[in-house]
């Protein structure tokens, strides 16, 4: 059985067969010359939840690729761009045989230098609620031209300015993404309704849960942060997502617990402490009630 990793970091990603990188902090991976089966076989973290310690962008030129990101399912299709920010919990679930992709993974500094703070925050909120962009064929062609320039630049091992050049190329990609965001938001503004306000509350709730679920598991905490009553919050979250607020909180806790347990880096007691349970026994009962087996049984699977 292959080992799953709690933290997927750039050092581990840079070791993948198809990867080229600059100092293991800026990594490019594609399968233009290989097969999807090769990538599916190579990646040790397939079908296990991992927490990203970097930002990643995946361009899909053909085929389909499936993910779960922060408990939401996504399918990447032709001319789609998926951007997942540092700190997200994701699970890669495979791709079709005809899939061709280009991956850019890097320390977040490469992306954060491109925009002003307000623009960056707007982009981050948009990516959290909807991490997939539909690019026009022309935009995808431009993005791949920049990707190939990046790949060529990385090979210039005698060039002391490679990092600066890669930062510049990344800025172009990020500004382009912000342009797409503004266009999408302009269209959304034209059809804004009451349901849009419900969606915004739901998005804010999920964002707050992602920040605090390891310490806070009560609906009242998140309701206070969002200045609404717990009953109203749970109703709105249910209307938008079909699930109650408490279910979302529980799922984030269990997802992280599963990733920690499968990493085999920590004891059950350590996992309980990291998730701020009163003791190992309470954590064990909580986990078994939600998953159907004990933490130790899950770890052995």
Q: What is the pLDDT of residues 280-291, one digit of tens each?
A: 999 999 999 988
DSSP per position, 52-87: ESSEEEEEEEES-EEEEETTEEEEE-TTEEEEE-TT
Q: How confident is the model at residue 34 (pLDDT cuts 50, 70, 90)?
A: low
64-87 mean pLDDT = 86
HSE-CB for 174 with a 13 A CA cutoff? 25
294: pLDDT strictly greater than 50: yes
Alpha carbon 54 to its chain centroid, in Å, reads 9
Facing residues of 132 across strands? 82
CATH 2.60.120.280 residue spans of the chain: 7-190
Q: Give residue 148's pLDDT.
A: 95
pLDDT at 147 exceeding the cut of 90: yes
pTM of the full structure:
0.66
Q: Using DSSP bridges, classify how beta strands 65-69 and 55-62 pair: parallel, antiparallel or unpaired.
A: unpaired
Residues 25-53: what's their mean pLDDT?
67
Average pLDDT, the chain: 80
pLDDT at 2 over 60: no
With CA atoms as reference, report the closest residue to 58 among 144, 172, 116: 144
**What proportion of the chain, given as a percentage, has pLDDT over 70?**
77
Antiparallel, parallel or unpaired: β 80-84 and 26-30: unpaired
Of the pLDDT bands very low, low, confident and very high (cuts 50, 70, 90), residue 71 is confident
Q: How far apart are CA 128 and CA 123, in angstroms?
A: 9
CATH class (in words) of the domain with range 194-300: mainly alpha
| Residue 50 confidence (pLDDT) | 75
Residue-wise pLDDT tens digits, 163-209: 999 989 988 888 887 776 666 555 555 544 445 778 888 888 988 88
Greater model confidence, 60 or 252: 60
Q: Report the pLDDT value the prediction gives residue 42, as an integer from 0 to 100.
A: 46
Residues of the chain with CATH 1.10.10.60: 194-300
Q: Which of left, alpha, beta for 24 (phi over 0: left; psi -120 to 50: alpha)? A: left
Residues contacting 70, CB < 8 A, separation 6+: 88, 89, 90, 128, 206, 210, 252
- What is residue 218's predicted lDDT score, i.e. its pLDDT? 92
pLDDT higher than threshold 60 for residue 66: yes
CATH of domain 7-190: 2.60.120.280
Q: What pLDDT is recorded for position 172?
A: 87
Q: What is the pLDDT of residues 246-256, one digit of tens each?
A: 988 988 888 88
Confidence band for 5, pLDDT divided at 50, 70 and 90: very low
């Amino acid at each position: 059985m292959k080992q799953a990793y709690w933290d997927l970091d750039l050092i581990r990603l840079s070791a993948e067969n198809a990867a080229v990188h600059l100092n293991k902090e800026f990594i490019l991976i594609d399968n233009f010359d290989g097969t999807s089966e090769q990538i599916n076989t190579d990646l040790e973290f397939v079908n296990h939840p991992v927490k990203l310690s970097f930002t990643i962008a995946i361009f899909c030129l053909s085929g389909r690729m499936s993910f779960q990101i922060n408990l939401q399912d996504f399918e990447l299709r032709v001319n789609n761009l998926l951007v997942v920010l540092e700190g997200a919990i994701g699970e890669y679930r495979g791709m079709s045989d005809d899939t061709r992709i280009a991956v850019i993974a890097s320390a977040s500094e490469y992306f954060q230098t491109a925009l002003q703070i307000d623009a960056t925050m707007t982009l981050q909120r948009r990516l959290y609620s909807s991490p997939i962009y539909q690019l026009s064929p022309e935009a995808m062609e431009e993005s791949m031209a920049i990707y190939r320039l990046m790949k060529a630049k990385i090979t210039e091992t005698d060039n002391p300015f490679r990092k600066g050049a890669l930062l510049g190329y990344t800025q172009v990609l990020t500004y382009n993404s912000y342009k797409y965001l503004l266009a999408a938001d302009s269209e959304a503004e034209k059809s804004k309704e009451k349901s849009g306000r419900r969606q915004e509350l739901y998005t804010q709730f999920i964002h707050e849960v992602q920040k605090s679920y390891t310490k806070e598991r009560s609906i009242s905490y998140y309701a206070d942060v969002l200045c609404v009553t717990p009953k109203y919050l749970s109703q709105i979250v249910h209307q938008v997502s079909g699930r109650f607020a408490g279910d979302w909180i529980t799922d984030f806790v269990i997802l992280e617990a599963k990733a920690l347990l499968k990493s085999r880096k920590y004891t059950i007691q350590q996992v309980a402490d990291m998730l701020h349970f009163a003791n190992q026994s309470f954590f064990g009962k909580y986990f078994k009630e939600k998953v159907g087996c004990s933490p130790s049984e899950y770890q052995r699977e």
